[in-house]
Amino acid sequence: MQRPTPTDVEVKFEGGNMITETDLHGKITYVNRLFIQMSGYEKEELIGKPHSLIRHPDMPQCCFKSMWESVERGYPWEGYVKNLRKDGAFYWVVVTVTPKYDEKGTLCGYIAVRKPPGELTLQEIKRKYTEMMKEEVCRKEGSEYFSEALERMH
């Protein structure tokens, strides 16, 4: 499935809890009705797909790195996330991701609960994430420049 092209259209998440569950590799195994409604996808389009399907390209990669490091060690993670809808629009959420264990106590997946963000905090998060994205681009460009310079030396 091809990811949609992001637009500048924001859809406000007004209330309730969007819930998803994934396996250990981030493939979606469960979605509730509110998540289906907000994402714009049908249930059948989501189940079995990587959760990164709804990841907006404006999100700093370090946020997801931090999340995976936390949940893979068995700790919950909470953060603000900009998600991408099927139609290219976006919506902001506060998400709490917690490890899920089977009856033997073995880690078997993850549960994510999304809630609407507070407006004042969201403005601060948007500003910080923009700065983080710029830093990631600068680091990437610097790393590429350094790699190219090394190649020219050989």
Q: What is the pLDDT of residues 63-78, one digit of tens each?
A: 889 899 999 999 999 9
Contact 26, 50 (CB under 8 A): yes
144 domain-assigned: no
Residue 12 lies in a domain: no
**Per the domain annotation, does 107 fall within a domain?**
yes
Cα-Cα-Cα-Cα torsion 128, 135, 49, 75, nearest 10 degrees, comes to -60
128 in any annotated domain:
no
* 140 occurs within a structural domain: no
The model carries a pTM of: 0.78
Tell me the per-residue pLDDT of 13-33, one tens digit each, with 9 for 90 and over: 988 999 999 999 999 999 999
Number of domains in the chain: 1
- In degrees and rounded to multiples of 5, residue 43 shows phi and psi of -55, -45
| Domain coverage including residue 97 | 18-117
Query: Is 149 part of a structural domain of the chain?
Result: no
Residue 98 lies in a domain: yes
Distances (CA, A) of 38 to 52, 100, 152: 15, 24, 49
CATH number, domain with residue 85: 3.30.450.20
110 strand-pairing partners: 22, 99
